[in-house]
Every structure is written in C-alpha cells, then in structure tokens.
Structure 1
C-alpha cells in the first residue's frame, strides 16, 4: 500500500528524526480527523468508515489504536499494525501529513507552495478532458465552463445536482474515463479507502 511504502521510505532516510515521535493528541470527527505529534506537528485526514461498529463486543477492535489507547503511542507502532481497524488508515494518513512538511523542507529537490490553490498550478484549456475523483463543488464550478469535458467520479449521484448532474460518473467506472483524460484530480480520501493504486494504474502518463 502506498501509505505504508511511503512511511518505510521516510523511515529509511530520516529514521533518526521520526523514530521517537509519538501521538500527543488525536481528534476523530465526522468529516475530518486530526493528529498532533510530540514535536508539535499536526496533520489531518478525511474520516471514512465503510461500515458501522459491530454490535457484538467480540467483533470489535480493542487493539493498541482503539479509542482511549491512541495518545502516547509511537508513530512507528502505528505503521507496524498488521490488523487495521477502520481508524488506523485515517491515523496513518494524518501522521504522514504531520511528518512530511518538515522533511520535504529539508530536501532542496522539492519546492513547497504555500497558500496557493492547486488549480492555479494546473493549465486547463478548452480542449482539455478533466476527471475528478470526488465532487468538489468549488472546482466543478471553475472547471466546467473551461474544459471541453468534465467527468466527476462519485459513489453518491446526489453529490452533483442541477446543471452539473450530467458530469456524474459512477465511481466504479473510473477505468472507462480516466485513460481518456488529460488531467486527473484525485482526492486524498483514496489513500484511506485504498482505491488510489487501482486508479493510478489507469492514468495515461
């Protein structure tokens, strides 16, 4: 999985900086979750649960990263988890978001753009076919009038209404539209629901 592989690469190069990091605070919200690490860095991730909590106690997760046990755990423990409750992938992405900025800033090969909208770094033309994974209304309003064609992959058809309804494409049909796209915009939620790798396989370089 991309998230775990990313952590392994970071650990191999910057292990001396992150091995002692632990979770100092965590918040799990309805839409977003946040984590604060012992060095003061913070990261957020989308909250995504595919199923409701099991009714029977014996089916529930009571591992080291279950509620009430998360704070004080080392980040390395989080990525060592073999069994993942639905909260673990959320915490992993949030932790990577907390760790990454400081490490990227140390590497002169990368440039961090602050306070800028990603669309400002993207050239969308009248002949462009754009596919969005996730219905971001603000982006749809800006892309639809410019691009030749806009596909919005979503699980919920009600995410698009009115004049934008015709842009809707069922999420499971991603392989039908992404290979024909000039630009693909992907939500970070795909890291948590583990669909990013299959989506990237259909992207034409």
Structure 2
C-alpha cells in the first residue's frame, strides 16, 4: 500500500525528479547529536533533522539503547533505500536519520532539477516574513521561543500546544493548552504555527487536517528542510527550514552537542519557502 503521508509523498517526488541518480547516492557521513541529527551524501549535499531524544525513554543502558540505533558503526554501508524506509517508519531515532537523508536528497533535487511554483528566501527566519495579525487567534504547536516572545510583545491572544509544559516560561503557562485539547484548539486558529518536529512524531498530518481552510499555516524548524510540495498541497503557506552550506562543518558542530545557535550562518543557513501566488 502506498504511503500517503507527507514524507511518503515527498519521497515519491524525489524518486520522480532524481530517477536512477537516487540509486547512486550513498551516505558518506552521519552524526546523531544531542539536539540535531545530520548527514552528508557522497554528492556533497547535507541534511538535518531534530534528534527526538525524549522519544526514547528506554535509552538508559547499553542493551536497551542499542535497539534505538542498531546500525551504528555501519551507517555508511547502508543503501539509501534503507534510510528512506526508516523515514517512513515509527522508530524515532532511525526515523530522524531517515528524515535527515530525505533533507539531503531534497537539497540534491533542488540543485539538479529545480522546480517552479515557490519562492525561497535565504538568511531569514520565518517570523520575519510572517505578519503578526492585529486581530485574530494564534495557535503555536511546540515551545517555539522566538514566536512566543513576539506574541507576548505584541500582546496577541494565543494558545500554545506543548507535550511538555516544563519547556514553557512562567509567563507563557497561562497560554498553555495540553495536547489532549488539540482537536478543539487548532480549529480556533486564524494563524497556526507548527514545529517541524511533528513530522517525526507523526502528528503533522492531523494538525493540518484540523486547520481551517482560511487559516494561515506555517511549519518551521530544521526537520522540515525538505521539498515543500507535500506541505503546500496540505494547505501550508510558509515553510521555514535550513539549507546545509558546509556539511562537514555542520556535522562537526552536531558531534560536539551543538544547536542552531552554533551552526546558523556557519554550516547552515535559514531559508523560508513560500508558495508563489500563481500556484496558490
């Protein structure tokens, strides 16, 4: 049965655009860092994804931790198809590595067969292009610090859906909504801002289904540094991700426990992808 998820659709598009070239691609280097996971392909392209460390509560000793990443030490021997399969699976760490490979393949596809239908702005954060509404309701999925700060400064009414309320500051807790209220909170939004990590835990499709057709939907974070077609097809207007500019430098930073603050403008740049008006 065909996979009809965002990742499934993205992988189908990659296969269509890259053709046989995709079978020749290999992973030259992979790093699973504390905060982010990254890869470098033999084509020189890099990809990135958040590391879902909280999704592995059993990772407390060697025997149980080994099941999370059974191919460690042999990652360069794996076929690209194996990573793609992992991206569609439900094992968090393996899925994250698979998404990083999909991210790198997306960068390759953008180089060898660029497509029209959307515009890309480099070196900016999505919040810089997202106009904060003077009125209306805003829902943020995930503790996205820059966006929560901007909403508080604008005194804009909002709700924040977050799995772990401990990630919120005291003055943000009044706006907190537990994930159990997702089906009621998301349709309330005129502007919906979603963390890309929902691509890893498999909740992104449901969130997009809940959004009202007229709502402005933004998905952002390194994890959605993939071809935007499948996201746009589901009503997303703005995708904020990253483009890897120096894979080795990025992976060195990730191996040392680095976060976005350490690699932005060095091994990777922020990019914002928007649907072109004619394709909306």
Unaligned runs of 5+ in 2: 214-280
**CA displacement 1:97-122 (0-9 Å, x = unmatched):** 21223423511333221001111221
TM superposition shift of 1:23: 0.8
TM-score by length of 1: 0.87
Deviation of residue 61 (structure 1)? 3.5
Matched, 1:121 2:129: yes
Equivalent position to 1:180, from 188, 197, 201:
188
Name 1:158's counterpart in structure 2: 166
Equivalent residue number for residue 76 of structure 1: 81
User: What is residue 89 of structure 1 aligned with on the other side?
Assistant: 95
The gaps in structure 1 that reach 5 residues or longer are none
Structural RMSD (CA): 2.5
Greater Cα shift, 44-53 or 31-40: 44-53
Q: Which has the higher contact order (CA 8 A, sep 6+)?
A: 2
CA offset at residue 60 of structure 1?
5.5
Q: Runs of 4+ in structure 1 displaced over 4 angstroms?
A: 54-60, 81-84
2:23 is the alignment partner of 1:19: yes
Q: Does 1:5 align with 2:9?
A: yes
**Aligned match for 1:67, one of 51, 69, 72:** 72
1-structure distance, mates of 2:183, 2:9: 24
What is the TM-score when the length of structure 2 is the normalising length?
0.65
Superposed displacement of residue 146, structure 1? 2.4
Q: Deviations over 1:147-203 (max 9, x none)?
A: 631111111112212222211111232111110101111111111111111111111
